[in-house]
Structure 1
Amino acid sequence: MLDVRRLHMLTTVAARGSIAAAAQSLALTPGAVSQQLSALRREVGVELLRPDGRTVALTEAGRVLVDHAEQIFAAIREAESAVAAVKGTVGATATLAALPSTVARIVAPALHTLASRHPQLTVTCLVTDQAQLRELLLGTVDVVLGQRYHHLPEATVAGVQAYPLLDDPLLVVTAAAHPGDAPVALSDLATHRLAVPPPTTECGQAIHHACQQAGFTPTAPYVTADIAAQLTLARAGLATALIPATAIETAAPGIRTTTIADRPIRRRLFAAIRSSDTPNPTTAAVVTALRTSARRARAGQALALP
């Protein structure tokens, strides 16, 4: 019988692209992973990996085995959820991957709620904007707080169940002394010096796309994904920033926020878990807490926006 742990190592190597990267994510040594993969190769009697430049790739047999392994893992997760549902209690641990821009207004309140309602539950929070859904499918995390910008088509990911949380507009942020607080046309920002995220980020791409649709290429002497840095530049009067509303403290001093009147840039925040026919009480509790925080954040936005 095939060893499930070795199958998991194979799928992790396939996803990470190398034995070293897989070993790091599994908290093992590369030698230990190689040893287990060699044992798996002997069990099936055929090569499963081949060199591919500086990385490794699956052979045809390896792809077949990984496809079947995904079905096995799905069945195991379903069994775990079914047992948890029978128990009817929230478990002891969960791992949440969340975007840095959601920590203050959504994640932190949700963690407070969970601590109050389920004191036995310890939530490990990974603050990252890198490949969250992949980590979810690999089983590294249990819940993802992700985003999708409005200019991208809706997409579904096999094996993932997503729950909408909040439509989050980007606000125009300037120094408090900047005149005017009425909504602005996006084209008005053509003459502004902007502080924006790198074009490799989802937010940077959304801003660039919207500006092009408004007829101009943004002038951005300041390029940073660090929202604190963007706010500092705006507060100092050095730049205009475009920042998601939930990433801005409602009482942040020294800045003025306004909405975009004609071509709003929005992201949809969502909570995602691995698909299952049987709800898991632990992940359900985390998602419920995130949805509660999102409702409160939405109410706060309605009061704060001009």
Structure 2
Amino acid sequence: MLDVRRLHMLKTVAARGSIAAAAQSLALSAGAVSQQLSALRRDVGVDLLRPDGRTVALTEAGRVLLAHADRILAAVQEAESAVAAVRGTVGATATLAALPSTVARIVAPALDELGSQHPQLTVTCLVTDQAQPRELTLGAVDVVLGQRYHHLPDATPRGIEVSPLLDDPLLVVTAAGQADERPVALRELATHNLAVPPPTTDCGQAILHACHEAGFTPTTRYITADIAAQLTLARAGLATALVPRTAIDPATPGIRTAPIEDRPILRLVFAATRRTETANPTTTAVIAALRTAAGLGRTMRPPTA
């Protein structure tokens, strides 16, 4: 009989591209993963993986088995949710993957509420720039707190349920005293030195796209995905930053923020889970807390001085 855990490892290796990367995401050694995949190969009697440069790829038999593995693992998830629903109580553990920019205004208040409402629930929170719905398909996490910028197509994988939480605009951040609080036309930033994320990130792409639509190429003097660094550069008067509203701690001193009036850059912040016919009480509780925290974050004003 096929071992479900080994099927999960095969799926993870196929998605990550290498045994080492899969082992890291599974919190196992590469040797342990290799041993389990070797056992799976003996179970089926045919090679499932082949070298592909510095990575590995599925053989034809591996692709066939993976297609069945997807259905088997989905059925296991459905069974777990159905049993949890019959039990009717929030479980003991859950894993949440969240973007760093959501921690202060959404994640921390949500975890605080969960601790009060469900003290038996321990939530492991993975704060990572790779908080993407794909992690759910690999079974690595239970809930993803992610983002999608409105100019990008929806690339949500099949079998994933997305719960929109809020539209989060990017604000123009400068040093206190350098500008007034009036809304800013995006074209005005053509003369500014900007601190922005790398163009390989969703946020960096969104900023470049919006600036090009406004008719100019931004002067990106500082390139960093670290929002704390962007705010430090803005506070020092060295750059203008474009930062999501919910990523700005209201206690941050020495900065002034302003909305973009003509071409707002919006990201959709969402919570995502694996889609099942029966709702899981544990993931339902986590998403409810995230939704409450997002609603509170929406009503809070960032600092103006």
Common fold: TM-score over 0.5 = yes
Equivalent residues in 2 for 1:246-261, closer than 5 Å = 246-261=246-261
2:235 match? 235
CA displacement at 1:134 relative to structure 2 = 2.2
* Secondary structure of the corresponding residue to residue 221 of structure 1: strand
CA contact (8 A) 2:150 2:267 kept: yes
Residues 19-47 of structure 1, C-alpha deviation per residue, up to 9 Å, x if partnerless?
12222222333222222222211221211
Matched, 1:137 2:137: yes
CA contact (8 A) 2:134 2:157 kept: no
CA contact (8 A) 2:195 2:242 kept: yes
CA displacement at 1:254 relative to structure 2 = 0.7
In structure 2, C-alpha distance between the alignment counterparts of 1:284 and 1:164, rounded to whole Å: 14
Percent sequence identity over aligned pairs? 76
Equivalent residues in 2 for 1:88-103, closer than 5 Å = 88-103=88-103
Matched, 1:68 2:29: no
In structure 2, C-alpha distance between the alignment counterparts of 1:270 and 1:289, rounded to whole Å: 13
In structure 2, C-alpha distance between the alignment counterparts of 1:304 and 1:167, rounded to whole Å: 19
In structure 2, C-alpha distance between the alignment counterparts of 1:60 and 1:282, rounded to whole Å: 38
Matched letter for residue 196 of structure 1: V
Matched letter for residue 259 of structure 1: P
- Corresponding pairs, count: 304
CA displacement at 1:259 relative to structure 2 = 0.6
CA displacement at 1:231 relative to structure 2 = 0.6
* Secondary structure of the corresponding residue to residue 271 of structure 1: strand
Matched, 1:283 2:283: yes
Matched, 1:217 2:217: yes
* Secondary structure of the corresponding residue to residue 69 of structure 2: helix
Equivalent residues in 2 for 1:19-168, closer than 5 Å = 19-130=19-130, 132-168=132-168
**Structure 1 runs, 4 residues or longer, greater than 3 Å off:** none
Matched letter for residue 39 of structure 2: A
CA displacement at 1:214 relative to structure 2 = 0.4
Matched letter for residue 229 of structure 1: A
* Secondary structure of the corresponding residue to residue 6 of structure 2: helix
> Which has the higher mean CA deviation after the structures are superposed, 186-195 or 44-53?
44-53
1:13 match? 13
In structure 1, C-alpha distance between the alignment counterparts of 2:30 and 2:248, rounded to whole Å: 42
* Secondary structure of the corresponding residue to residue 8 of structure 1: helix
> Which has the higher mean CA deviation after the structures are superposed, 155-164 or 49-58?
155-164
Q: TM-score, normalising length from structure 1?
A: 0.96
CA displacement at 1:297 relative to structure 2 = 0.9
Residues 77-128 of structure 1, C-alpha deviation per residue, up to 9 Å, x if partnerless?
0000000000000000001000000000000000000000000000010000
Q: TM-score, normalising length from structure 2?
A: 0.96
In structure 2, C-alpha distance between the alignment counterparts of 1:229 and 1:208, rounded to whole Å: 19
In structure 2, C-alpha distance between the alignment counterparts of 1:27 and 1:207, rounded to whole Å: 35
CA displacement at 1:129 relative to structure 2 = 1.2
Residues 122-164 of structure 1, C-alpha deviation per residue, up to 9 Å, x if partnerless?
0010000115322211111100000000111234320110000
In structure 2, C-alpha distance between the alignment counterparts of 1:8 and 1:184, rounded to whole Å: 50
Equivalent residues in 2 for 1:189-204, closer than 5 Å = 189-204=189-204
> Runs of 5+ in structure 2 lacking a partner?
none
Residues 235-279 of structure 1, C-alpha deviation per residue, up to 9 Å, x if partnerless?
111111000000112242111100101000010000000110000
In structure 1, C-alpha distance between the alignment counterparts of 2:37 and 2:153, rounded to whole Å: 39
In structure 1, C-alpha distance between the alignment counterparts of 2:187 and 2:71, rounded to whole Å: 50
